[in-house]
Amino acid sequence: MRNLKGRLDLCSINTATLGHREPLSRTIDRIANAGFRGIAPWRHEMEKADVTQIAKQIKALDLTVTGYCRSTYLPAATRAQFVANVNENKAALRDAATLGARCFVMVVGGLPEGSRDLIDARRQVSDGIAELLETARDCGVPLALEPLHPMYAADRAVLNTLAQALDICETLDPERSGFLGVAIDVYHCWWDPALQASIAAAGQAKRILAYHACDWLRETRDILLDRGMMGDGVVDLPAMRECVERAGYDGLVEVEIFSKENWWRRDPDEVLRICAERLQAVC
């Protein structure tokens, strides 16, 4: 396992960690000034900015875009809406290419409004990814399927385990082209009894595209907006990263923390300083 001590060049900050409180250009400067060499911006931030200009700023600061967040949900109540969702993701992939992103993070979506058909929602996810894969190849940006904790199955992601994500990858991309893989997020995967085996399988197939670090608080107050800073929760973070890196992952370690009542209320530079300390000490 790589030693992160003094190696913030191996570390990235997902802009959600700072709460999206400032213009993206200011956030980029903060992250670079704090010594990190990676960044993962969000699409809604880009809507208020010029993609080409942001790409130039990121390149000038010698930052790596570890991921572009995130996909429009795929499952829909009508065929027309499904097609619209796919097309939105194709447009986002083109922006990801402009940014030079290492991957486009796919949070695939839950059940359409009013639906109880989990099987159909998962079928739509697979169909949508199949349609996006050609665009991903054309743009040169891999799709990173991010399994979410099962508590999000209804509203955010019917893709809930790493093994499930790998099944989709093998079905749609049996040649292992490099354009379909997985993002492994501590918050969503730490609980999985099959996690070590799934990480090993993902590594063997060369499908690990991103690794997201945070922690799971023992007394989580909000399932979406109360993630823990690394070291504040119950996850054995060194063991998890060792497993991921043993499987062959050599990309940046990306911090992604949603924390409405704690970290998003703090000074952004303080948050970045603590992220740097924890990455080097407890991850």
Paired with 11 in beta bridges are: 253
Whether 187 and 233 have beta carbons less than 8 Å apart is answered as no
Calculate Rg over the CA atoms of the chain.
Answer: 18
Rounded to whole angstroms, how far apart are CA atoms 209 and 181?
A: 6
Cβ-based neighbours of 100, under 8 Å, separated by 6 or more: 55, 58, 59, 65
Please state, rounded to an integer, the average pLDDT across all residues of the chain.
Answer: 98
Whether 69 and 38 have beta carbons less than 8 Å apart is answered as no
- Average pLDDT over every residue of 270-281: 98
CA 138 → CA 46, 55, 202, 205, 244, distances in Å? 22, 19, 24, 22, 28
- At 159, the amino acid letter reads L
Look at residue 48 in the predicted model and tell me its pLDDT: 84
% of the chain residues with pLDDT over 90: 99
Whether 244 and 208 have beta carbons less than 8 Å apart is answered as yes
Rounded to whole angstroms, how far apart are CA atoms 215 and 96?
A: 27
- How many other CB atoms are there within 10 angstroms of residue 39's CB atom? 26
Entry pTM: 0.97
Q: According to CATH, what is the number of the domain 8-282?
A: 3.20.20.150
Could you read off the pLDDT of 73-95 as tens digits, one per residue?
999 999 999 999 999 999 999 99
% of the chain residues with pLDDT over 70: 100
Could you read off the pLDDT of 119-157 as tens digits, one per residue?
999 999 999 999 999 999 999 999 999 999 999 999 999
Rounded to whole angstroms, how far apart are CA atoms 209 and 66?
A: 9
For the cut 90, the answer to whether the pLDDT of residue 53 exceeds it is yes
- How many other CB atoms are there within 10 angstroms of residue 258's CB atom? 18
DSSP state of 42: B
Rounded to whole angstroms, how far apart are CA atoms 37 and 9?
A: 5
